[in-house]
Amino acid sequence: MLGLQLILAGFQALSTLLVSNTDAGLAFYDPTKNGGFMLDNAGGGGGEPLNVIISGLSSPAVLTDAGILHYAQAIGFSFECLGFHLGAPQSANLGDGNGWVNQTIELRYDFGDDDVGTCLESLVGGNHFRVFRQNGTEANSGALFLAVSQEEDVWDGHTIIPDGYNVGRDLLVAAAVGHTSHDGVKYSTVAQNMTGLLAPGSTGLVNQGIATDGVTVLLTVTIL
């Protein structure tokens, strides 16, 4: 037990160092105020809405690459099937001076199994999200912008289900809010709905005709 506590303490200390150069006291910067977008670039002229933001005011350990994976596993998501990614990565411009940057990671619903559950999601469809980090010199919040959506099965080409952006966002938020845990790390998550970042409707979205309600959810995640 003591060994696990020491490992977790070291993990949190290292994570704090990795994000300590972010702008203090800011949840996120609005990408659109500095030439960025609230839609990623999915290719073909369209994009997917960045409909969830993990606040830069969250515990620093959550905002690292290892930390977001660990937190995702606490709310029912994990790495892609056997660690393999199919398809081209999407990119986002978060108005932080970095321009268009490929997704940091893509995580899928794991059906209760961290190791191989996402293989089932890859077959039958389900919820998944892409992660983009706002860390450029012009807007260094450290916040994580997520493109969340519920997708069809592999036989339907993993297209987004009807209303899949709203559905995916709401499923993720429902799983996250409150107290969750994974491998001994406990999290508390609060959510705030925001409007004005994303325009409601379907303009510019992948799979024309899939509209959103224009709501972006801000999650603040605290390690207990």
Interval 146-155: pLDDT, tens: 999 988 766 6
Dihedral Cα 136, 145, 112, 153, nearest 10 deg:
-120
Between the CA of residue 172 and those of 101, 161, 204, what are the distances in Å?
A: 24, 15, 23
Q: Domain range for residue 10?
A: 2-223
Of 5-19, 26-40, 84-98, the one with minimum mean pLDDT is 5-19
164, 211 in Cβ contact below 8 A?
no
Q: Which of 144, 150, 143, 112 is nearest to 128 (CA)?
A: 150
Q: What is the pTM of this model?
A: 0.86
Domains in the chain: how many in total? 1
Residues whose CB is less than 8 angstroms from the CB of residue 87 and which lie 6 or more positions away in sequence, other chains included: 158
Q: Which pLDDT band holds residue 88 (cuts at 50, 70, 90)?
A: confident
Interval 28-78: pLDDT, tens: 999 999 999 999 998 877 899 999 999 999 999 999 999 999 999 999 998
- HEC letters along 112-155: CCCCCHHHHHHHHCEEEEEEEECCECCECCCCEEEEEEEECCHH
Count Cβ atoms within 10 A of the Cβ of residue 68 and give its class: 0-12 exposed, 13-18 middle, 19 or more buried: buried
Neighbours of 15 (CB within 10 A): 21
133, 179 in Cβ contact below 8 A?
no
Residues whose CB is less than 8 angstroms from the CB of residue 32 and which lie 6 or more positions away in sequence, other chains included: 38, 95, 197
Of 113-117, 165-169, 179-183, the one with minimum mean pLDDT is 113-117
74, 185 in Cβ contact below 8 A?
yes
Q: What is the average per-residue pLDDT within 126-134?
A: 93
Q: What pLDDT sits at residue 224?
A: 97
Q: What pLDDT sits at residue 6?
A: 41
Interval 138-171: pLDDT, tens: 999 999 999 999 887 666 566 788 899 999 999 9
